């Protein structure tokens, strides 16, 4: 892609230089990620500008800049294209390159072998989608392999089985969804994943899907260009099951819970109410709110490939944990595996382990069954 194509595709000449994008960017607090200036430079010079590696890979693709832009531009999509060019030239952090190679080789970015993908599900009596099921539970790479996030998958399974939902999984056939692959600009690999995954979904006649990861939800809904199946985030399905009386919550949880809106669920897809409905339905729970909640939620820095790229400077997840403790919360509830991992790590590094616990909404719900 040349500079002229970038200018046209991202409507760079429509930018009024208001600076709302840079001003709202959570990462610009720690690195010189001046997205307004970068767009301007390409528009004015008509040349591709090279940015430092720290700047280029610092964006979490949280989408706040796009949400704030009064001209309806999407600055982060411009940055993803800049990343694509860097990837083509082999300018990519080694940790990220390894993650992408693992996606191609193993179907996951965590460098784990495919045959271990369903270890978490042993003994849970979950059928393979080939046996016929109304809903495909797309587990995702992190819930399949990370021991902490496997607990979220198990909790969701407990809730679905209790509610009598007819669901199945893809087992070892499941592949990476590609959301992060797209976000770091490896569009060739992303197209390959779309093709492979769509073949698989069509083979099993998938019409409905649920996922515990907003990144998977986002990519299947917005990036696959598909209309053959409907995808739900687990917060939507669980809220629906509670509303329809299919999930009865009998145990009290007497806790103060604060909810952190994941960027890929909230800002990118407008899902703010369902996770809150799930939390509020649990007997004995008091739901608290951050000052910065819903579309103002502070990014945890887990998206856009940042799970594999460390950027020096103050960690936003630590600020978030401090804010949760200051609000008097005992549980910091999330609805995203990356948020769970980054925030749980921040609880440890801030020394708040005795004060607050990070849990997915499915885990909270499973405790109340």
Name the residues that contact ligand SF4, by CB under 6 A.
Answer: 15-21, 25-27, 33, 35-36, 39, 59-65, 68-71, 73, 75-76, 79
CB count in 10 Å sphere of residue 227: 6
Question: Which is nearer to ligand SF4, 79 or 103 (by Cβ)?
Answer: 79
Q: How far is the CB of 218 from ligand SF4 (least distance, A)?
A: 13
Query: Which residues are 286's β-sheet partners?
Result: 256
Question: Which is nearer to ligand SF4, 114 or 223 (by Cβ)?
Answer: 223
Q: How far is the CB of 75 from ligand SF4 (least distance, A)?
A: 5
CB count in 10 Å sphere of residue 84: 18
| R_g of the chain, CA atoms, integer Å | 20
Question: Which is nearer to ligand SF4, 14 or 195 (by Cβ)?
Answer: 14
Q: How far is the CB of 34 from ligand SF4 (least distance, A)?
A: 9
Question: Which is nearer to ligand SF4, 229 or 264 (by Cβ)?
Answer: 264
Report the C-alpha gap between 368 and 248 in whole angstroms.
9
Question: Which is nearer to ligand SF4, 35 or 333 (by Cβ)?
Answer: 35
Q: How far is the CB of 63 from ligand SF4 (least distance, A)?
A: 5
Positive/negative CA dihedral, 369, 258, 356, 58: positive
Q: How many CA atoms lie within 13 A of 187 on its CB side?
A: 12
Question: Which is nearer to ligand SF4, 61 or 342 (by Cβ)?
Answer: 61
Q: How far is the CB of 261 from ligand SF4 (least distance, A)?
A: 14
Q: How far is the CB of 181 from ligand SF4 (least distance, A)?
A: 16
Q: How far is the CB of 37 from ligand SF4 (least distance, A)?
A: 9
Question: Which is nearer to ligand SF4, 21 or 135 (by Cβ)?
Answer: 21
Q: How far is the CB of 183 from ligand SF4 (least distance, A)?
A: 9
Report the C-alpha gap between 279 and 289 in whole angstroms.
12
Question: Which is nearer to ligand SF4, 35 or 86 (by Cβ)?
Answer: 35
Question: Which is nearer to ligand SF4, 64 or 106 (by Cβ)?
Answer: 64
SS (H, E, C) the chain: CCHHHHHHHCCHHHCCCCCHHHHHCHHHHCCCCCHHHHHHHHHHHCCCCCCCHHHHCCCCCCCHHHHHCCCCCCHHHHHHHHHHHHHHCCCCCHHHHHHHHHHHHHCCCCCCCHHHCCHHHCCCCCEEHHHCCCEEEECCHHHHHCHHHHHHHHHHHHHHHHCCCCEEECHHHCCCCCHHHHHCCCHHHHHHHHHHHHHHHHHCCCCEEEECCHHHHHHHHHHCCCCCCEEEEHHHHHHHHHHCCCCCCCCCCCEEEEECCCCCCCCCCCCCHHHHHHHHCCCCEEEECCCCCHHHCCCCCCCCCCCCCCCCCCCHHHHHHHHHHHCCCCEEEECCHHHHHHHHHHHHHHCCCCCCEEEEHHHHHHHHC
Question: Which is nearer to ligand SF4, 20 or 361 (by Cβ)?
Answer: 20
Q: How far is the CB of 80 from ligand SF4 (least distance, A)?
A: 9
Q: How far is the CB of 14 from ligand SF4 (least distance, A)?
A: 7
């Amino acid at each position: 892609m040349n500079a002229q194509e970038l200018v046209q595709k991202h409507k760079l000449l429509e930018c009024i230089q208001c600076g709302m994008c840079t001003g709202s960017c959570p990462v610009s607090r720690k690195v010189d990620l001046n997205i307004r200036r970068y767009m301007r430079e390409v528009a004015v010079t008509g040349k591709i500008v090279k940015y430092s590696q720290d700047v280029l890979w610092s964006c979490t693709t949280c989408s706040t800049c796009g949400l704030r832009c009064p001209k309806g531009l999407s600055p982060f999509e411009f940055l993803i294209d800049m990343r694509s060019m860097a990837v083509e030239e082999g300018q990519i952090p080694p940790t990220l390159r390894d993650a992408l190679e693992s996606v191609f080789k193993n179907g996951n970015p965590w460098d784990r072998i495919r045959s271990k993908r369903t270890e978490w599900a042993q003994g849970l009596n979950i059928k393979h989608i080939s046996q016929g099921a109304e809903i495909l539970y797309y587990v995702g790479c992190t819930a399949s392999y990370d021991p902490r996030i496997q607990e979220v998958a198990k909790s969701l399974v407990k809730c679905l089985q209790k509610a009598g939902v007819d669901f199945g999984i893809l087992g070892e056939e499941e592949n990476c969804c590609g959301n992060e692959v797209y976000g770091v600009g490896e569009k060739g690999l992303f197209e390959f994943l779309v093709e492979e995954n769509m073949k698989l979904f069509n083979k099993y006649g998938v019409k409905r899907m649920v996922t515990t990861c907003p990144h998977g939800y986002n990519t299947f809904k917005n990036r696959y260009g598909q209309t053959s199946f409907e995808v739900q985030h687990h917060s939507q399905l669980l809220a629906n099951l509670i509303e329809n009386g299919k999930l009865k919550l009998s145990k009290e949880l007497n806790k103060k819970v604060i909810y952190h809106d994941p960027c890929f669920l909230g800002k990118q897809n407008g899902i703010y109410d369902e996770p809150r409905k799930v939390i509020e339905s649990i007997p004995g729970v008091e739901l608290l709110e951050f000052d910065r909640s819903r579309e103002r939620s502070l990014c945890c820095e887990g998206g856009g490939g940042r799970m594999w790229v460390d950027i020096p400077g103050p960690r936003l997840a630590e600020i978030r944990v401090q804010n949760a403790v200051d609000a008097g919360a005992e549980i910091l509830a999330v609805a995203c595996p990356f948020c769970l991992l980054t925030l749980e790590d921040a609880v440890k590094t801030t020394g708040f382990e005795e004060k607050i616990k990070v849990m997915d909404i499915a885990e909270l719900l499973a405790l109340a069954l």
